[in-house]
Amino acid sequence: MIDPEEYNFATIAVRAGHQRTNEGEHSEAIFPTSSYVFDSAEQAAARFSGDEPGNIYSRFTNPTVRAFEQRLAALEGGERCVATASGMSAILTTCMGVLKSGDHIVASRSIFGTTVVLFNQFMQKFGVEISFVSLTDLDEWEQAIEPNTKLLFIETPANPMTQIGDMRALSDLAHKHGALLAVDNAFCTPALQRPLEFGADIVIHSATKYIDGQGRAMGGAVVGSEELVGKDVYSFLRTAGPSMSPFNAWIFLKGLETMKLRMDAHTVNATALAEWLEQQSMVTEVHYPGLKSHPQYELARSQQSGAGGILSFELDDSKMSGKDAAWKLINATEMLSITANLGDTKTTITHPATTTHGRLSPEERAQAGISDGLIRVAVGLEDIEDIKQDLSRGIE
Ligand SMILES: *Cc1c(COP(=O)(O)O)cnc(C)c1O
């Protein structure tokens, strides 16, 4: 097994975390086993008491899952990674691990719709208070912080408007008040952005997205220090059991090997599409951090090594309602996949106001800047000319 300290990103992505068995296999093995056998009753007792490290049961540890965890931790520059059954369970596991009743979360208003529901309906039910603020307004963050604030939570770039959160400023603010900064890094992956380098304490992933990158499996991960993730977050995971399956861990391991190549290719395609959309008369605005017209272009460049695959744009609503225009465009496409998923080789198109953000109230949607004429595209790896052509059917 390689020591990630001695190698660069692309090498870590291909080789870290792989512990070859006696069979000498070149590709990582899948270990579909629920439990592990001990040499003796003494060893069983030592494993259970924690005196001897090693496998006991796959809710706690599994060799394939561990290989994925070690590789992702090394890619993010974190001490420890805990893999979970989905991105949402990574967020839940983080909350359960680091928060208690009476604590307070300050979260960006521009986060994944289901994360908002998790905070509002479920965390509040257990006595955790939530405030939502604008991702980009640092004064609002400062004002929202209370003595019991324990966690600041953001996504950057945010979905679907691609606003950028200033991770250095927000981690400084969190630490000044004894709180933690958690960054959901699903849109960038460590191939494009490493939040721990900007002071974040916890990095969260939906591995379902770009880590798999091919739309096959559900998974998630939490990365951070040994103290925080290795103790607090892991102890909830091993107790409550939203653990990653070894089959899925294997898919994600292989996904990590091509992640940098894919993220760079997604960025090339999305940049070309964003520039093309800016020239279409029916399109009134394009949101993409790789465009010079993005209000936080410089901040994005200082945090990300590429702008990523996700963009959104707004349609002219002077001739018909924004929703009708958006639905008409989406329905006119023949190749693009109409699905809310993202982070796939296949380009996906969605109408946030009636899908991913449909459970928000109209006021919450307006506050997040999501208009009825907004369309989000997660740009895939097809030929860019074919993607443009498919979109132009509805734009004409
Ligand atoms: C999809 C997504 C999630 C949730 O992940 P699942 O794997 O679907 O549970 C969380 N955050 C972001 C930014 C996402 O895109």
Q: Closest Cα partner for 210 from 162, 267, 259, 265? A: 259
The pLDDT of residue 352 is above 80: yes
Single out the residue of 258, 340, 264 nearest to residue 308, CA to CA. 264
**Digit-coded pLDDT (tens) for 84-97:** 999 999 999 999 99
Mean predicted lDDT score pLDDT of the chain: 96
What is the arithmetic mean of pLDDT over 334-354? 95
Does ligand 1 have an atom closer than 6 angstroms to the CB of 160?
Answer: no
The pLDDT of residue 358 = 84
CA angle (305, 310, 315) in 5-degree steps: 135
**What confidence tens digit (pLDDT) does each residue in 202-259 have?**
999 999 999 999 999 999 999 999 999 999 999 999 999 999 999 999 999 999 999 9
Looking from the CA of residue 218, the nearest atom of ligand 1 is 7
- Directed axis angle between helix 384-395 and helix 322-332, to 10°? 130
Print the SS3 string covering the chain: CCCHHHCCHHHHHHHCCCCCCCCCCCCCCCCCCCECCCCCHHHHHHHHHCCCCCCCECCCCCHHHHHHHHHHHHHHCCCEEEEECCHHHHHHHHHHHHCCCCCEEEEECCCCHHHHHHHHHHHHHHCCEEEEECCCCHHHHHHHCCCCEEEEEEECCCCCCCCCCCHHHHHHHHHHCCCEEEEECCCCHHHHCCHHHHCCCEEEEECCCCCCCCCCCCCEEEEECHHHHHHHHHHHHHHHCCECCHHHHHHHHHHHHHHHHHHHHHHHHHHHHHHHHHCCCCEEEEECCCCCCCCCHHHHHHHCCCCCCEEEEEECCCCCCHHHHHHHHHHHCCCCEECCCCCCCCCEEECHHHCCCCCCCHHHHHHCCCCCCEEEEECCCCCHHHHHHHHHHHHC
Global pTM value: 0.96
On whether both 277 and 203 belong to a single domain, the answer is no
174 CB near ligand 1 (under 6 Å)? no
C-alpha–C-alpha distance, residues 127 and 99, integer Å = 10
Looking up tokens 């977050």, which residue turns up?
233
pLDDT at 362: 87
Q: Which residue has the tokens 């132009």?
A: 392
The Cα 224–Cα 201 span in angstroms is 6
Report how far residue 335's alpha carbon sits from residue 381's, in angstroms, rounded to the nearest whole number.
13
**195 and 265, same domain (yes or no):** no
Q: Check if 356 has its Cβ closer than 6 Å to any atom of ligand 1.
A: no
* pLDDT at position 124: 97
> Does the pLDDT value for residue 119 go beyond 90?
yes
Nearest CA to ligand 1 atom 11: 112
pLDDT score, position 233: 98
Same domain, 239 and 359: no
Q: Is 344's C-beta closer than 6 angstroms to any atom of ligand 1?
A: no
Q: Is the beta carbon of 112 within 6 A of some atom in ligand 1?
A: yes
**Cα of 187 from ligand 1 centre, angstroms:** 9
Q: How high is the pLDDT of residue 11?
A: 96
User: Is residue 250 domain-shared with residue 266, that is, in the same domain?
Assistant: no
Nearest CA to 204 among 225, 184, 230? 184
Question: Is residue 242 domain-shared with residue 362, that is, in the same domain?
Answer: no
Q: Among the three residues 236, 255, 274, which one is the final residue of a domain in this structure?
A: 255
Q: What is the mean pLDDT of residues 364-371?
A: 84
User: What token pair was written down for 192?
Assistant: 């494009």
Domain, as residue range, for 41: 4-255
Q: In the chain, how many domains are there? A: 2
More confident residue, 344 or 365: 344
Q: Say if residue 163 is in the same domain as residue 282.
A: no
pLDDT at 177: 98
241 and 283 fall within a common domain: no
Q: Tens digit of pLDDT for each residue in 266-285?
A: 999 999 999 999 999 999 99
* Cα distances (Å, whole numbers) of residue 140 to 133, 164, 202, 276: 6, 15, 22, 35
Instruction: Ligand 1, residue 91: give the atom nearest the CA.
Output: 10
HSE, side-chain direction, 13 A CA sphere, residue 216: 14
How many angstroms is it from 208 CA to the middle of ligand 1?
Answer: 7
Per-residue pLDDT at 279:
96
- 109: CATH: 3.40.640.10
Q: Residue 94: its pLDDT value, please?
A: 98
Residue pair 33/21 in contact by the 8 Å Cβ criterion? no
Over residues 22-80, the pLDDT tens digits come to: 999 999 999 999 999 999 999 999 999 999 999 999 999 999 999 999 999 999 999 99
Give residue 339 CA to ligand 1 midpoint distance, Å: 14
* Judgement on whether residues 212 and 82 belong to the same structural domain of the protein: yes
Domain with 336 in it: what CATH number?
A: 3.90.1150.10
How many angstroms separate the CA atoms of 211 and 72, rounded?
9
Q: Say if residue 113's pLDDT is above 90.
A: no
Confidence of residue 392 (pLDDT cuts 50, 70, 90): very high
With the most atoms of ligand 1 within 8 angstroms of its CB, the residue from 93, 108, 206 to mutate is 206
What is the CA(88)–ligand 1 centre distance, in A?
A: 6
Nearest 5 degrees, angle CA 340-CA 344-CA 347?
Answer: 70
Q: Convert the pLDDT of each residue in 277-334 to its tens digit.
A: 999 999 999 999 999 999 999 999 999 999 999 999 999 989 899 999 999 999 999 9
**Pocket of ligand 1 contains residue 159 by CB under 6 Å:** yes
Categorize the per-residue pLDDT at 187 as very low, low, confident or very high, splitting at 50, 70 and 90.
very high
Which of 255, 271, 297 represents a domain boundary (last residue)? Answer: 255
Does one domain contain both 198 and 310? no
Residue 369 confidence (pLDDT): 84
Ramachandran angles phi, psi of 66, nearest 5°: -65, -40
Single residue among 198, 221, 255 that ends a domain in this structure: 255
Contact of 351 with 330, CB cutoff 8 Å: yes
Q: What is residue 106's predicted lDDT score, i.e. its pLDDT?
A: 98
Instruction: Output the CA 218–ligand 1 centroid distance in Å.
Output: 9
Same domain, 152 and 135: yes
142 and 9 in one domain?
yes
pLDDT, position 297? 98
Same-domain status, 245 and 268: no
208 lines ligand 1 (CB under 6 A): yes
